[in-house]
Amino acid sequence: MLYICDIKYDTCMETIALDRKQTAFRLRKDLLERLKIEARKENRSLNNYVESVLMDVVYREPNDETLAAMKEAEEGKNLTKVDTSSFESFLKSLE
């Protein structure tokens, strides 16, 4: 196990070491430059940025629990109407 600690807030988080395999890809020069720019904008390494973009694409499909919640929302089950005409009305509708 790895531990990531934040000295400022005196907290530690237990993390699981992920098994990674080094690989190589050929990319167009303009695409690579764009990826570097986007990674810099987010203060991330190129590797971390590309991995997160790929993870978003690969794991885009919602799991069963999320699909069930989406279906329930579409059908309007267990949903409470919220009055947004004023802040006071909004608070009362949450009760």
Using the CB atoms, write b or e for 18-40: b if 16+ within 10 Å.
Answer: eeeeeeeeeeeeeeeeeeeeebe
- Rounded mean pLDDT, 21-47: 94
Cα 42 to chain center, whole Å? 14
pLDDT value at residue 13: 56
Residue 17 lies in a domain: no
Residue 32 has pLDDT above 90, yes or no: yes
Residue 52 lies in a domain: yes
d(CA 88, CA 91): 5
Residue 94 lies in a domain: no
pLDDT value at residue 35: 97
Residue 68 lies in a domain: no
pLDDT value at residue 62: 82
What's the total number of domains in the chain? 1
Greater model confidence, 27 or 58: 27
- What's the domain range around 31? 22-62
Residue 74 lies in a domain: no
pTM score, whole prediction? 0.50
Residue 9 lies in a domain: no
Residue 15 lies in a domain: no
Residue 39 lies in a domain: yes
